[in-house]
Copies of this chain bind each other. A is one copy, B any other.
Amino acid sequence: MKLKQIIESNDTRTGKTVDLFIQVMIVLSLISFSIETLPDLSEKMVKWLGYLETVTVAVFTIEYVLRIAVADKKMHYILSFYGLIDIVAILPFYLSTGIDLRSIRIFRLFRLFRAFKLLQFSTAANRLGKAFLDVKDEFIIFLMAAMFVLYVSAVGIYYFENEVQPEAFKSVFHCLWWAVATLTTVGYGDVYPITAGGKIFASVIVFIGLGIVAVPTGLIASSLTASMKNTDDEERSGL
């Protein structure tokens, strides 16, 4: 069946064109979503964004229906990750036509799931996903170590700073925000130690903790790169 080939793979020219068209629609939809958050939009703009939204949902609905139509195991597709993303991407629109759900903030957020539709077309995403599975074990170990360091940092700074800065270092939970901002070296500057003890503690913990907290980051980076090289080699030797 030719339609099946066009929708499910991108080997043919028509298939590629359809894929590209849907990707452009997704990106347009995400941009229009961002524009809608701008304050002081003109009446005209709102109307045009509304038209675009209607067209987008129409396209996505046709795509969804066709994907079900051409699928061999229809239920399997509907309940698959991408099948659920596809329905979540359009459902809020239909629900909101009956009752006015647009005003509900969280509901509008569902439109964001359209971004995940992009992953469907992306070999890059597949490769990143595979690469991540390779380092899953190490990642979990380091993540636990990072959380341990974060907790110890937070409790430590609480004891040094709580008395002089009762507002910024109100509780251990508030101190965790400081710990995250510091150990990832983001360092906004909204909270920082001012006592001598707090500064010395922060200095020591930054040196010790940086290595542990930086590891998950560096680990993903290096493993992804390595994993991608392997995929390249396999593809090359496979041909």
Q: For the complex, would chain A's binding face be called helix, strand, loop or mixed by DSSP majority?
A: helix
Cα distance, A154 to B181, chains bound together (Å): 17
Q: Which of A159, A189, A219, A221 has the most CB of B within 10 A?
A: A221
Instruction: Decide if A75 is an interface residue (CB 8 Å cutoff).
Output: no
Binding stretch for chain B, among A44-52, A60-68, A171-179: A171-179
Within 8 A of B (CB), among A197-216: 199, 202-203, 206-207, 210-212, 214-216
A166 to nearest B CB, angstroms? 8
Q: Which B residues are CB-close (under 8 A) to A228?
A: 138, 141
Within 8 A of B (CB), among A142-172: 142-146, 148, 151-152, 154-155, 158-159, 162, 166, 170-172
A89 to nearest B CB, angstroms? 14
User: Across the interface, do B180 and A188 meet the contact criterion of CB distance under 8 Å?
Assistant: no
Partner of A181, one of B176, B187, B225: B187
Q: Which B residues are CB-close (under 8 A) to A145?
A: 124-125, 128
Cα distance, A60 to B140, chains bound together (Å): 27
- A residues with CB within 8 A of B: 30, 33-35, 37-39, 105-106, 109, 112, 115, 118, 122, 124-125, 127-128, 138, 140-146, 148, 151-152, 154-155, 158-159, 162, 166, 170-173, 176-177, 180-182, 184-190, 192, 194, 199, 202-203, 206-207, 210-212, 214-222, 224-225, 228
